Amino acid sequence: MSALVVNEFIDFNTLKEILAVTDGNLASHIKALEKMNYVTIHKQFIGRKPNTKYSASSTGTLAFKKHIEALEKLIKNT
């Protein structure tokens, strides 16, 4: 989510490279995030090649920020 929150869009291959995961692993994680309405998927063709881009939804951004706040609070209390 951090990569999606700080970028307007990230395509599948870039996200896969950033996370160093397999196609299947990334697809399953994206599917889980999509199910929670945390990501928005944008599909298009560039020339004849399909291109899928992902972005954080407002719900996903809010959930991520709350998660970071909880982690910061935990660190301050330790």
Q: Which domains does the chain have, with CATH numbers?
A: 2-73 (1.10.10.10)
Query: What per-residue confidence (pLDDT) applies to 52?
Result: 95
Q: Residue 50 is encoded by which pair of tokens?
A: 């399909």
Query: What per-residue confidence (pLDDT) applies to 43?
Result: 94
Dump pLDDT digits (tens) for 7-65.
999 999 999 999 999 999 999 999 999 999 999 999 999 899 999 999 999 999 999 99
Between the alpha carbon of residue 16 and those of residues 1, 6, 10, 43, 72, the distances in Å are 13, 16, 10, 16, 27
pLDDT above 90 for 78: no
